[in-house]
Amino acid sequence: MESLWLSVKLAAWVAGILLVFGIPLAYWLAFSRWRWKFFVEAAVAVPLVLPPTVLGFYMLVAMGPQGPLGSAWSKLFGRGLAFTFQGLIIASVLYSLPFAVQPLVVAFEGVDRKLLAASAVLGAGEWSTFRRVILPLSLRGVATSAILSFAHTLGEFGVVLMVGGNLAGITRTVSIEIYDRVQSLDYTQANRLALLLLALSFAVLSFVYGMNRRVRRRVWIPWASR
Partner 1 sequence: MAGENHILALAIRLFALLLGYAAPAGLCFGQPCEIRVAAASDLSFIMPELASQFERQSGCALRVSYGSSGNFLSQLRNGAPFDVFFSADLEYPKRLEAAGLTEGRVCEYAVGRLALWAPANASVNPASEHWNALLDPAVAKIALANPDHAPYGRAAIAALKKAGVYERVRTKLVFGENISQAAQFVQSGNAQLGVLALSLTRAPAMRQGKSWEIPPEFYPLIRQGAAILKGARNAGSARRFLEFLQSAGVREILRRFGFSPPPAD
- With binding defined as CB under 8 A, does residue 76 bind partner 1? no
Nearer to partner 1, 31 or 179 (CB): 179
CA dihedral 69, 71, 77, 80 (to 10 degrees): 80
Number of residues this chain uses to bind partner 1 (CB under 8 A): 24
Contact 208, 147 (CB under 8 A): yes
Nearer to partner 1, 76 or 221 (CB): 76
Tell the burial category of 15 from Cβ atoms under 10 Å away from its Cβ (0-12, 13-18, 19+): buried
Instruction: Tell me how far, at minimum, the Cβ of 183 lies from partner 1, in Å.
Output: 4
Instruction: Tell me how far, at minimum, the Cβ of 138 lies from partner 1, in Å.
Output: 39
Closest C-alpha among 99, 66, 92, 96 to residue 164: 92
- With binding defined as CB under 8 A, does residue 63 bind partner 1? yes
Nearer to partner 1, 28 or 83 (CB): 83
Closest C-alpha among 56, 6, 45 to residue 159: 56
Instruction: Tell me how far, at minimum, the Cβ of 62 lies from partner 1, in Å.
Output: 9
Contacts (Cβ under 8 Å, ≥6 apart) of 35: none
Instruction: Tell me how far, at minimum, the Cβ of 12 lies from partner 1, in Å.
Output: 24
Site residues for partner 1, 156-215, by CB under 8 A, read 161-162, 165-167, 179-180, 182-185
222 secondary structure, DSSP code: G
Q: From 35-43, 44-52, 59-67, 136-144, give the range in contact with partner 1 by CB under 8 A.
A: 59-67
Single residue of 19, 50, 61, 143 touching partner 1 by CB under 8 A: 61
Q: Determine the residue type at 125.
A: G
Contacts (Cβ under 8 Å, ≥6 apart) of 157: 52, 175, 176, 179
Single residue of 19, 57, 135, 137 touching partner 1 by CB under 8 A: 57
Interacting residues toward partner 1 by CB under 8 A:
57, 60-61, 63-67, 70, 79-80, 82-83, 161-162, 165-167, 179-180, 182-185
